[in-house]
């Protein structure tokens, strides 16, 4: 193993308590571990790489990482989800749910998404995908293949097949109902347990296991109670989406007689192992105190909610109460810099000023907060003994403007693809913006073909099964009918 040294005009180190900025900084690593952070390394190095005017920093941690060809973006200005076939209709359920992708296409979506995560400076990911276009939930065999893709690309991942015991659907009268299948839910949990035992720590510890039930309203009490017990037995991180919609809150209160967070507390699911996206709709300070007292982490995904005019009440006030925040992308694009920027602006709008939430708060959530949520002190920071998960962001871009503070410049004007190099576990997984071993052109063309297939599947789930092209409105109307029958993939994005 070579001893590698990286240099740049700016470097984010860690002094044991906080991130600190080094000018003309250096980081030296040997194998998977960092040996030195600072300036003037006194030892010998097999290879020095000088990135010039750039920011070397810790890799970002994305705990609601888009692992999909995102279907959420299709809701943008396309009307009510009940009409566009994203969620299940009663008609679809009665005819029998089905897969929209082949098994090979299911695995491909992860290859595409993981490449995008690396491309955006994310070195640790806990992926999320949609269950709406699945026949049910994810499978052991599927995730055995996904683990292989993550290891091949070199992405540090927390994996496990998603499981659930129910699915929401729309009745013909426009009301929301729920379909339950407890046996399927328990079988899914058993598969998740087996995956954890087989894959946790695999591929030189690049792959870790996690318990990933779908959403609080799609899981029965028995499934969640068994999840809580298994999380304790395995010391496994557990992620559960909750408090993300008014309909969810109303449904949980109707079914369980408690707010979502009160219900999770009763089930023993508010612990330091618990990662909870998104926490938008809570029942006041009592709910927040439950989170703090239990030691659970909120995974904040500001962009996906802002698109629908929703936002966390106060990032800064929650943090001041002792809440640990991590960040997630959840939707396209997989750009945590964009989530930091928009998260900062949204927080200040919600808080009516700039005193409660800072630039550094958002950066900490994407690094130190994510590591804490996973119970780790060896990632999310650059310090001797830590994992060599390192990113390099170019500071020479004209769009960044005159450089006055590397982190502020990036959060004000940067984008994920300013990341020009990435090292994970000491392996260079991206150089000069190119993820190693990936043909970007072929990847994008396959994604385009597959996304059209996803769009077509919306017709199956919509009432009356209308022509799929009528479900998606362009931002501006077409001038003629030229495109009416043309597949979207005929518009090659790479030409």
User: What's the confidence (pLDDT) of residue 478?
Assistant: 81
SS (H, E, C) 448-482: HHHHHHHHHHHHHHCCCCCCHHHHCCCCCCCCCCC
Question: Mean of the pLDDT values across residues 81-89?
Answer: 88
* Phi and psi at residue 478, to the nearest 5°: -65, 145
pLDDT-derived band at 485 (thresholds 50, 70, 90) equals: low
Q: What is the mean pLDDT of residues 103-114?
A: 98
| Residue 494 is assigned to a structural domain of this protein | no
Identify the pLDDT of residue 246. 87
In Å, how far from its chain's centre is CA 123? 12
Q: Where are the alpha helices (DSSP H) in 85-139?
A: 90-95, 103-119
* Residue 6 · residue 27 · CB < 8 Å: yes
Is residue 1, in this structure, part of any structural domain at all?
no
CA pair distance 207, 381, nearest whole angstrom: 19
For the segment 462-490, the average pLDDT, to the nearest whole number, is 76
Is 406 a domain residue? no
pLDDT band of residue 492 (cuts 50, 70, 90) is: low
Is 19 within the bounds of a domain? no
CATH code for position 113: 3.20.20.140
Inter-residue contact 158 to 141 (CB < 8 Å): no
Domain tally for the chain? 1
Q: What is the mean pLDDT of residues 282-307?
A: 93
pLDDT on residue 81: 77
Residue 388 has pLDDT above 70, yes or no: yes
Is residue 133's pLDDT more than 80?
yes
Average pLDDT, the chain: 94
Instruction: Decide: 258 and 222 in contact? Cβ < 8 Å.
Output: no
Mean pLDDT of the region 405-426: 97
CA-closest candidate to residue 199, choices 144, 145, 161: 144
Residue 480 has what pLDDT?
75
In this predicted structure, the answer to whether residue 482 has a pLDDT above a threshold of 60 is no
Looking at residue 484, what is its pLDDT? 54
Average pLDDT over residues 83-91: 91
75: CB partners within 8 A, 6+ apart: 81, 84, 86, 308
Q: Say if 311 falls within a structural domain.
A: yes
Averaged over 235-253, what is the pLDDT? Answer: 91
* Residue 477 binned pLDDT confidence (cut-offs 50, 70, 90): confident
The candidate with the shortest Cα–Cα distance to 304, out of 257, 349, 245, is 245
**212 has pLDDT over 90:** yes
Domain coverage including residue 375: 59-382
Tokens of residue 471, six digits: 């479900």
Contact at 8 Å (CB) between 159 and 127? yes
Confidence tier at 481 by pLDDT (50, 70, 90): low
Alpha-carbon distances of 71 from 115, 428, 472, rounded to whole Å: 18, 31, 12
Residue 73 placed within a domain: yes
Average pLDDT (61-81) is 92
Pairwise pLDDT comparison (380 vs 217), residue with the higher score: 380
Q: What percent of the chain has pLDDT over 90?
A: 86
Quote the longest CA-to-CA distance of the chain: 73
Residue 422 within any structural domain of the chain = no
Q: Let me know if residue 238 belongs to a domain.
A: yes
Q: What is the mean pLDDT of residues 402-424?
A: 97
- Cα–Cα dist 269/320, whole Å: 22
Please, which pLDDT band fits residue 495 given cuts at 50, 70 and 90? Answer: very low
Residue 58 pLDDT exceeds 50: yes
Q: Rounded CA gap, 258 and 64, in Å?
A: 25
449-456: average pLDDT: 95
């Amino acid at each position: 193993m070579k001893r590698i040294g990286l240099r740049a005009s700016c470097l984010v180190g860690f002094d044991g308590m906080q991130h600190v900025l080094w000018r003309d900084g250096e980081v030296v690593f040997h194998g998977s571990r960092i040996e030195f952070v600072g300036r003037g390394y006194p030892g010998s190095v097999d290879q020095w790489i000088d990135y010039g005017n750039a920011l070397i920093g810790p890799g970002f941690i994305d705990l609601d990482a888009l692992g999909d060809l995102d279907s959420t973006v299709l809701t943008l200005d396309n009307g009510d989800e009940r009409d566009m076939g994203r969620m299940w209709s009663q008609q679809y359920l009665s005819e029998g749910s089905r897969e929209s992708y082949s098994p090979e296409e299911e695995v491909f979506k992860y290859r595409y998404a993981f490449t995008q995560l690396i491309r955006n400076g994310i070195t640790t990911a806990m992926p999320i995908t949609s269950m709406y276009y699945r026949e049910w939930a994810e499978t052991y065999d599927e995730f055995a293949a996904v683990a292989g893709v993550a290891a091949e690309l070199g992405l540090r991942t927390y994996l496990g097949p998603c499981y659930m015991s129910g699915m929401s659907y729309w009745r013909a009268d426009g009301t929301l109902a729920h379909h339950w299948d407890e046996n399927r839910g328990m079988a899914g949990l058993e598969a998740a347990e087996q995956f954890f035992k087989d894959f946790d720590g695999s591929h030189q510890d690049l792959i870790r296991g996690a318990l990933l039930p779908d959403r609080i309203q799609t899981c029965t009490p028995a499934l969640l109670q068994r999840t809580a017990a298994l999380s304790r037995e395995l010391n496994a991180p557990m992620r559960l989406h909750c408090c993300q919609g008014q309909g969810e809150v109303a449904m949980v209160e109707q079914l369980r007689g408690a707010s979502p967070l009160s219900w999770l507390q009763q089930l023993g699911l508010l612990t330091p192992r618990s990662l909870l996206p998104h926490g938008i709709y809570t029942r006041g300070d009592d709910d927040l105190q439950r989170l703090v007292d239990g030691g659970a982490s909120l995974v904040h995904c500001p962009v996906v909610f802002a698109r629908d005019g929703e936002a966390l009440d106060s990032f800064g006030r929650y943090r001041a109460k002792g809440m640990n925040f991590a960040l997630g992308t959840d939707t396209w694009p997989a750009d945590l810099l964009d989530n930091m920027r928009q998260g900062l602006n949204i927080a200040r709008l919600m808080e009516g000023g700039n005193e409660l939430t800072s630039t550094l708060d958002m950066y900490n959530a994407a690094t130190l907060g994510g590591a804490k949520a996973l119970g780790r002190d060896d990632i999310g920071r650059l310090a001797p003994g830590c994992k060599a998960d390192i990113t390099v962001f170019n500071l020479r871009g004209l769009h960044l403007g005159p450089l006055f503070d590397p982190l502020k410049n990036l959060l004000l004007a940067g984008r994920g693809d300013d990341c020009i190099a990435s090292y994970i576990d000491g392996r260079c997984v991206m150089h000069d913006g190119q993820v190693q071993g990936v043909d970007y052109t072929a990847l994008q063309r396959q994604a385009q073909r597959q996304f059209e297939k996803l769009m077509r599947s919306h017709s199956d789930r919509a009432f009356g099964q209308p022509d799929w092209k009528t479900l998606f409105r362009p931002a501006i109307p077409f001038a003629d009918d030229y495109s009416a029958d043309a597949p979207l993939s005929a518009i090659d994005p790479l030409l």
